[in-house]
Structure 1
């Protein structure tokens, strides 16, 4: 007589869930793992030496002219802040959902393209301003690292994940959220963020054939379920 296998223990069930969750968006969680390591390093560097340390990984004009590939990759793996919890939340909200929806390759193309093009647009404006004497020469070697351009592009492409009017509401909200700082502060990073949003919105073809999400339908089903309880 065969014995019924014992169900897995709660810790094992939790481990399986976590493993399946990570496998559903491997690129996101590899990136997060790297950011966890680099954030740990940043948190332990003397603040007086931090700018010097990050300068070699910065996508400023000097480095884009001399070693563009190296700094474009390195700048996406380091940040000026050591707040890893914030990255963990944002990556799970946007990068992980976009990777599951688009697939790892398409998600990576969107993130990388937004990161690269937004960097060239923002630093191109800096170069133009320096050449015409409208910006200080010090901006040519400023520290500019982080994942925010890639994140902005992914946030924008998720517009096409929504159905019907929700797409307009979400997309309009994203445009306003990134446009207001550009209008009020007008820094080169604000320009980079808004450029990355436009890049993300330009990948509408990647959304063809992908499932859409209607939050209103989810809410109505939840309400209907409550009435039948």
Structure 2
């Protein structure tokens, strides 16, 4: 008589590798450890909120424009409250006329850019704040200063040099060598030209057409042809800086606050 098989002497069947805790007859299931954690939601990049205060200079974000604007406010206050005789003396000493350019060129080129023709309420002061702030945020303070100085210096030398030649050949009187010439308008026009190169085409060309049209209209009126020509020259100088400002714009000037 054969012994009855019991659980003790039945041959044991080893479970299939990796089958622990899985359901028989079902496709292979992932164990608790192999279940991947849900992926974190991908952040959706939203458009930067409009911050109107970024249109104006700040001491940390645009130190060049902010400091320069503070100096212009100070000189504009002097213009508003000083006596006419004192103002005339200050303007004359800062004028980039031919006589001063021959004697002290560096001094008068710098001093003449400390005054705003028309005071703090001048349209060029408003354009200065908006344009130089936008330009400095894109290319940094050093290059914004270079653009401004190129327009201011080169356009001044071009116009006053023409005056000097005209006096030399007898087309203008000797008194033209001492004409008052000061202000920030040449540098501002260069800033407009440079900034246009950093804008999209649908903003760039209307800006140049509008600003350039205003300068041409002033020239046609022939009220101050030397200054009007200087504005057009400085606008062209700003446009000529596009390779420089675009290269710096691609590199990035650093985070602006």
TM-score, normalised relative to structure 2:
0.69
CA pair 154-36 structure 1, distance change in 2 beyond 3 A: same
Matching residue within 207, 226, 235 for 1:170 = 207
CA pair 208-81 structure 1, distance change in 2 beyond 3 A: closer
Deviates more, 1:194-203 or 1:171-180: 171-180
CA pair 50-17 structure 1, distance change in 2 beyond 3 A: closer
Deviates more, 1:132-141 or 1:61-70: 132-141
CA contact (8 A) 1:79 1:146 kept: yes
Unaligned segments of structure 2, at least 5 residues: 1-52, 251-257
Tell me the secondary structure at the aligned position of residue 82 of structure 2.
Answer: coil
Q: Which aligned pairs between 1:44-193 and structure 2 lie closer than 5 A?
A: 44-84=81-121, 86=123, 89-185=126-222, 187-193=225-231
CA pair 45-80 structure 1, distance change in 2 beyond 3 A: farther
Larger radius of gyration: 2
CA pair 107-120 structure 1, distance change in 2 beyond 3 A: same
Deviates more, 1:174-183 or 1:62-71: 174-183
Matching residue within 230, 235, 242 for 1:204 = 242
CA pair 189-87 structure 1, distance change in 2 beyond 3 A: closer
1:86 and 1:165 map into 2 onto residues whose CA distance is 24
Matching residue within 11, 27, 30 for 2:64 = 27
Q: Deviation of residue 33 (structure 1)?
A: 0.8
CA pair 77-176 structure 1, distance change in 2 beyond 3 A: same
Q: How many residues align?
A: 197
More helix by share: 1
CA pair 85-165 structure 1, distance change in 2 beyond 3 A: closer
Q: 1:4 maps to which residue? A: none
Q: Deviation of residue 133 (structure 1)?
A: 1.8
Q: 1:156-195 deviations in whole A, cap 9, x for unaligned?
A: 1111122133322222223222222223315211111111
TM-score, normalised relative to structure 1:
0.77
1:20 and 1:114 map into 2 onto residues whose CA distance is 21
1:88 and 1:198 map into 2 onto residues whose CA distance is 20
2:200 and 2:233 map into 1 onto residues whose CA distance is 24
Q: Deviation of residue 80 (structure 1)?
A: 4.2
CA contact (8 A) 2:79 2:119 kept: yes
Q: Deviation of residue 91 (structure 1)?
A: 2.6
Unaligned segments of structure 1, at least 5 residues: 1-15, 213-229
Tell me the secondary structure at the aligned position of residue 133 of structure 1.
Answer: coil
